[in-house]
A and B are shown apart, each in its own frame.
Chain A
């Protein structure tokens, strides 16, 4: 269970204000909003990469508002994959376990189910720079899951992919999320992408969370013209 209460933060002149959001355990929530609405900033704050100015972040009833990133048990998938180019696929996937002191061989044994679920076996010895977009997305997802996170944060995970690969990866994301039952927040621009994966959605505009609820409810009763425009544009 994730609970954000009156969370405010700032980056330069831009502010995200008074964000309150509740995500139940195992739920898949889409965080929708136009460019520059503060979605990535909010995600970075949840990861602990930006300090919160006010408010609280609770993950499974534990207050992590001021906790270091490594202590938050969050799996983060950034927009541009963020794979480590100096490491093989296998070492990327086991990174979270090795970061906590596990030996590579032991870490490989622990991530076996993730590798199997995402069909990464044939890629393990490869360099990440030789992978296709879809393959990179799977590897970065496996890396984020390897630390057995309480919360998975996906920041526009399919924005760099072509349409067929995007659809394929979205199906895979939903399948993997269900299999591991991990609470997930998925940042995206379009309601179409949100519908493919999420149970609920939250809409951010100009640094404020303006509406949350089931997708059908958002489409039927948008909270104002800005939300209606956003949902129409991505339909």
Chain B
């Protein structure tokens, strides 16, 4: 981008960049403290333990399952919120954001209470649909917390697709479904992928609702955030930090992916 003539540094640029550097320095200081506290050999030993490996495995499996559910819901819901206005649509739009603004622990409590109602009891009575204190419950918690991020991201992605292009597709012989598949979906793909990564990263980090709804049982419902809590609760800082470092790496990879996908403007693939 060309720069404006005159001094490169002025009051606004210096002040805003100073705030930026201060914030980044605070984040880097926290990460550096974690890195210097842990010894690489000890960290590898912790990550090799059976319990921690189970927690990592369960985190990856449950977050992958919740990601599939989030994608399955976010695309149609995000598209509906982006394209259709009907009585009550503004209220539905606001309700979709509720899990983002609610304290996560409230979601756990609400889930627990729901599964004590007759509907919840009925669902639990169906073979294979047991949620309370089970790995399926972890998936449900992750889904309830992360779906809003996926839906919001999908809505933004579809908002970025010019609706007139879908209308044009209709004049060119498409049904509404085919116009969605041939125009809206491929044009929103980068935004949808970024939304999916964001939702997955959020799902991996869910902790509060799990404590209440899925429990913190070793080798049964233990995921990475639970491990950190369990290790800290018995004063073992090193194992907790080792898992925290792993989550930090996952978060960094996810954020890099989100920024990369979000910055891609090239629609036309090879």
Q: Which residues of A contact B (CB under 8 A)?
A: 47-49, 68-70, 72, 74-76, 78, 82, 84-88, 95-100, 127-129, 143-144, 147
Least Cβ distance of A125 to chain B in Å? Answer: 10
Q: How far is the CA of A82 from the CA of B171 in the complex (A)?
A: 12
In the assembled complex, which residues on chain A have CB atoms less than 8 Å from the CB atom of B175? 70
In the assembled complex, which residues on chain A have CB atoms less than 8 Å from the CB atom of B168? 76, 78, 82
Looking at chain B's contact residues, the main secondary structure is helix
26 contacts between A and B (CB under 8 A): A47-B171, A48-B170, A48-B171, A49-B170, A49-B171, A69-B170, A69-B171, A70-B172, A76-B171, A78-B164, A82-B165, A84-B187, A85-B267, A86-B183, A86-B267, A86-B268, A86-B269, A95-B169, A95-B172, A96-B172, A97-B173, A99-B169, A99-B174, A99-B182, A143-B172, A147-B173
In the assembled complex, which residues on chain B have CB atoms less than 8 Å from the CB atom of A75? 171
Told that A70-B172, A99-B178, A143-B172 touch, could you supply 11 new A-B pairs with CB distance under 8 A?
A: A49-B170, A70-B173, A70-B174, A72-B171, A76-B172, A84-B165, A86-B183, A86-B267, A86-B268, A86-B269, A147-B173
Is there an interface contact between A99 and B173, defined as CB atoms closer than 8 Å? yes
Least Cβ distance of B170 to chain A in Å? Answer: 4
Question: Which chain B residues in 154-182 approach chain A with CB under 8 Å?
Answer: 164-165, 167-175, 178, 182
B48 at the interface (CB under 8 A from A): no
Is there an interface contact between A99 and B172, defined as CB atoms closer than 8 Å? yes
In the assembled complex, which residues on chain A have CB atoms less than 8 Å from the CB atom of B267? 85-87, 127, 129
Counting from the closest, the 9 A-B pairs by CB-CB distance are A86-B267, A99-B173, A127-B268, A69-B170, A96-B172, A99-B174, A76-B171, A85-B267, A69-B171
Is there an interface contact between B268 and A88, defined as CB atoms closer than 8 Å? yes
Is there an interface contact between A147 and B186, defined as CB atoms closer than 8 Å? no
Looking at chain A's contact residues, the main secondary structure is mixed
Is there an interface contact between A82 and B164, defined as CB atoms closer than 8 Å? yes
Is there an interface contact between B187 and A85, defined as CB atoms closer than 8 Å? yes
Is there an interface contact between B268 and A87, defined as CB atoms closer than 8 Å? yes
Q: How far is the CA of A69 from the CA of B169 in the complex (A)?
A: 9
Least Cβ distance of A94 to chain B in Å? Answer: 10
In the assembled complex, which residues on chain A have CB atoms less than 8 Å from the CB atom of B165? 82, 84
Q: How far is the CA of A74 from the CA of B267 in the complex (A)?
A: 27
In the assembled complex, which residues on chain B have CB atoms less than 8 Å from the CB atom of A49? 167, 170-171
Q: Which residue of B lies closest to A47 (CB)?
A: B171
Interface core residue of A47, A72, A84, A100 (most chain B CB under 10 Å):
A84
Is there an interface contact between B268 and A96, defined as CB atoms closer than 8 Å? no
Q: How far is the CA of A99 from the CA of B165 in the complex (A)?
A: 14
Least Cβ distance of A2 to chain B in Å? Answer: 15
Is there an interface contact between A84 and B183, defined as CB atoms closer than 8 Å? yes
Q: How far is the CA of A78 from the CA of B166 in the complex (A)?
A: 13
Least Cβ distance of B111 to chain A in Å? Answer: 40
Least Cβ distance of A111 to chain B in Å? Answer: 13
Question: Which chain B residues in 242-270 approach chain A with CB under 8 Å?
Answer: 267-269
Q: How far is the CA of A78 from the CA of B182 in the complex (A)?
A: 19
In the assembled complex, which residues on chain B have CB atoms less than 8 Å from the CB atom of A87? 267-268
In the assembled complex, which residues on chain B have CB atoms less than 8 Å from the CB atom of A99? 169, 172-174, 178, 182
In the assembled complex, which residues on chain B have CB atoms less than 8 Å from the CB atom of A143? 172
Q: How far is the CA of A201 from the CA of B2 in the complex (A)?
A: 48
Interface digits, B134-166 against A, CB 8 Å rule (1 contact, 0 not)?
000000000000000000000000000000110
Is there an interface contact between B268 and A95, defined as CB atoms closer than 8 Å? no
